[in-house]
Chains A and B, each alone.
Chain A
Amino acid sequence: MKILFFTGKGGVGKSTMAAAAAWQLSQKSRVLIVSLDPAHNLGDIFGVVIKNGKKKFTKTLFLSEINLKKLSREYLERETDVLSSTYSYLKTLNLDSYFSILKYSPGIEEYALLTSIEKTIRDEAGFDYIIFDTPPTGLTLRFLALPKVTITWIDRLTQIRRQILEKRYTIHRIRGTLSSEKTILDYKEADDDILKRLKKLSDNYHALDGALRGSDCHVVVVFNPDILSLKESKRLIEGLSDLGLPLRLLIDNKVTEANKEMAEYVEKQMKGMAQDVPLERIHLAKTLLDGREGALYDIRESIIPDSW
Chain B
Amino acid sequence: MGLLEFFKRILSDFDASHRESAAALTGVEVKELENIFALLLLGSFIGLPSPPSFLAVELMPFMERELKVLNRRAKDAGDMLAEMAGTIGID
In the complex, the answer to whether B30 meets A171 with C-beta atoms within 8 Å is yes
| Residues from chain B with Cβ under 8 Å of A185 in the complex | 65
Among the interface residues B23, B29, B62, which one has the most CB atoms of the partner chain A within 10 A?
B23
The B23-55 residues at the A interface (CB cut-off 8 A) are 23, 26-27, 29-30, 33-34, 36-37, 40-41, 51-55
Are A150 and B51 in contact, CB atoms less than 8 angstroms apart? yes
Q: Is the interface of B mostly helix, strand, loop or mixed?
A: helix
Contact with B along A278-302 (1 / 0, CB 8 A): 0000000000000000000000000
A-B pair count, CB < 8 Å, reads: 73
Given the interface pairs A150-B51, A167-B30, the reply to whether A201 lies near B58 with Cβ below 8 Å is yes
Interface size on B, residues (CB 8 A): 29
Minimal Cβ-Cβ distance residue in A for B63: A194
Chain B residues whose C-beta falls within 8 Å of the C-beta of A175 in the assembled complex: 19-20, 23
Contact A154 B26 (CB under 8 A): no
State whether B37 touches A149 (Cβ < 8 A).
Answer: no
A27 at the interface (CB under 8 A from B): no
B4 within 8 A of partner (CB): no
Q: Is A275 an interface residue (CB 8 A)?
A: no
Contacts of A167 in B (CB 8 A): 26, 29-30, 33
Contacts of A157 in B (CB 8 A): 37, 40-41, 51, 55, 59
Q: With A and B bound together, what is the CA distance between A161 and B65 in angstroms?
A: 13
CA distance A161 to B20 in the complex (A): 23
B55's closest neighbor in chain A, by CB?
A: A153
Q: Known contacts A175-B19, A178-B19, A197-B62; is A164 also within 8 Å of B51 by CB?
A: no
Are B62 and A111 neighbours in the complex by a CB distance under 8 Å?
Answer: no
Who on chain A is nearest to B36 by CB?
A: A160
**Neighbouring A residues of B36 by C-beta, 8 Å:** 160
Residues of B within 8 A of A198 (CB): 59
A165 to nearest B CB, angstroms? 9
Cross-chain contact of A170 among B16, B26, B51, B58 (Cβ < 8 A): B26
B12 within 8 A of A: yes
Q: Flag A193-207 by CB within 8 Å of B: 1 or 0 each.
A: 110011001000000
* Contact residue among A107, A164, A194, A201 (Cβ-Cβ distance under 8 Å from B33): A164
Q: How far is the CA of A79 from the CA of B58 in the complex (A)?
A: 10
A111 touches B59 (CB 8 A): no
Cβ–Cβ contact B53 & A194, under 8 A: no
Residue B1 CB within 8 A of the other chain: no
Per a CB cutoff under 8 Å, which of B16, B37, B54 touches A161? B37
- Contact string, A173-193, partner B, CB cutoff 8 A, digits 1/0? 011101010000100000001
Beta-carbon contact of B19 and A79 below 8 Å: no
CA distance A163 to B35 in the complex (A): 13
Q: Which residues from chain A sit less than 8 Å from chain B, CB to CB?
A: 79, 105-108, 111, 146, 149-150, 153-154, 156-157, 160-161, 163-164, 167-168, 170-171, 174-176, 178, 180, 185, 193-194, 197-198, 201
> Which B residues fall within an 8 A CB radius of A?
12, 15-16, 19-20, 22-23, 26-27, 29-30, 33-34, 36-37, 40-41, 51-55, 57-59, 62-63, 65-66
Instruction: List 29 A-B residue pairs with CB atoms under 8 Å apart, sorted by A's residue number.
Output: A105-B53, A106-B53, A107-B52, A107-B53, A108-B54, A111-B52, A150-B51, A150-B52, A154-B55, A156-B40, A157-B55, A157-B59, A160-B36, A167-B26, A167-B29, A167-B30, A171-B23, A171-B26, A174-B26, A175-B19, A175-B23, A176-B19, A178-B12, A180-B16, A194-B62, A194-B66, A197-B58, A198-B59, A201-B55
What 3 A-B pairs have minimum CB-CB distances, sorted nearest first? A153-B51, A193-B62, A178-B16
